[in-house]
Amino acid sequence: MEPTDEQLARWLESPSQEDIQELHVWLDKSPENLQKWESYHLLWQNSAKLASRIPLPDRGRIWSGIEAEIGEKKTFTIPAFFKYAAAAAVILTISLSVWLSISPKQEHYIAGNGPLEVWLSDSSRVVLKEGAELKVSKDYLEEERTVILEGDAFFEIKRNVQKPFLVQSESHFVKVLGTSFLVQSAKPEEATVSVFSGKVEFGVPSGQSSILTKDMSLTILGDQFIEKEKSANDLAWWTGELKYDNAPLSQFVADMAYNFGIVIKLSSDSLLGCRLTAKFEGLTPDEMVQAVAITFGSELQQSSKSTMLLEGGNCEKGGASW
């Protein structure tokens, strides 16, 4: 008679008093059982011996495979629609001239093709607009949190009272405790910061600066400080969302140019003053232009990859949600 599977397993590993009694009863039943027991025991021991035959892994080879994988994760997939968290958000436009040579002590990120999302070591996030460059010191966070930006970028910065986050350039700086902001640099010596929430200090290194809070926007042009209306549409290159409430069509034209590099030409300048009320979500830039063309009854022609022509049309209709 065979023992049950469970009995056999228990007899071989930490058997209870009861198990041992069962074993002895079974062994006493037949001399054949002793032979069986010896063979099970031998299998049990020999299989454990096999464990020592496991070859040693090649650490270097395994790691190099991992490094190759995670090294490529310098950029992250960007969600279709980024809902900027309530935490704190700022839009900042800075124009920077050449300010720093490349140093080996820096990480250098370049958004060559579309937006590039960069995570900093404190879980702060920077999204570079196409064409933007970001330099992050290797000792970021160790001493301070300073980065250098050329071009436009949106920052979402983790709050850290001990170490304020600083975006630096030759001509401007933005200092925050924890917030998110977009940096744009179209022209030299010009910078704009728009605050969605939170608080930032924005100024020039010579000393003049201004504290901005939620919904404030400030442009520094040379030594002039100019207040502007904050626009979430300046972030459409990342969010993919544009929203207009009775805005002139010229604003849409400007936004398409800024966010997507799409030049919209109008057959008649009178169309520029047309009022547009619309919300674009989940559309490609081309589809947005098509939607606007339909709205105003214009004919749409694509004259080149990035240039579109709106022909004809009038201002009669103007409200739409896409």
Contact positions vs another protein (CB under 8 A): 2-10, 12-14, 35-36, 38-40, 42-44, 46-51, 53-55, 57-59, 61-63, 65-67, 69-71, 73-74, 104, 107, 119-123, 136, 138, 140-141, 158
Distance CA 11, CA 20 (A): 7
CB of 195 to another protein, least distance (A): 24
Instruction: Name residue, tokens 């910065």.
Output: 157
C-alpha distances in Å from residue 42, one per residue of 19, 23, 291: 19, 16, 79
Q: Which residues of 105-124 are buried (b: 16+ CB within 10 A; e: fewer)?
A: ebeebebeeebbbbebebeb
Distance CA 232, CA 241 (A): 9
CB of 44 to another protein, least distance (A): 7
CB of 284 to another protein, least distance (A): 28
Q: Which is nearer to another protein, 10 or 129 (CB)?
A: 10
Bridge pairing between strands 307-311 and 263-266: parallel
Q: Which is nearer to another protein, 58 or 229 (CB)?
A: 58
CB of 111 to another protein, least distance (A): 17
Q: Which is nearer to another protein, 53 or 305 (CB)?
A: 53
Distance CA 63, CA 48 (A): 29
CB of 104 to another protein, least distance (A): 7
Q: Which is nearer to another protein, 46 or 113 (CB)?
A: 46
CB of 176 to another protein, least distance (A): 17
Q: Which is nearer to another protein, 47 or 304 (CB)?
A: 47
CB of 262 to another protein, least distance (A): 34
Structure tokens, 50: 């096999």
C-beta atoms surrounding 318 within 10 Å: 18
Q: Are 181 and 216 in contact (CB under 8 A)?
A: no
Q: Which is nearer to another protein, 15 or 248 (CB)?
A: 15
Q: Which is nearer to another protein, 47 or 113 (CB)?
A: 47
What's the burial of 255, exposed, middle or buried (CB within 10 Å: 0-12/13-18/19+)? buried
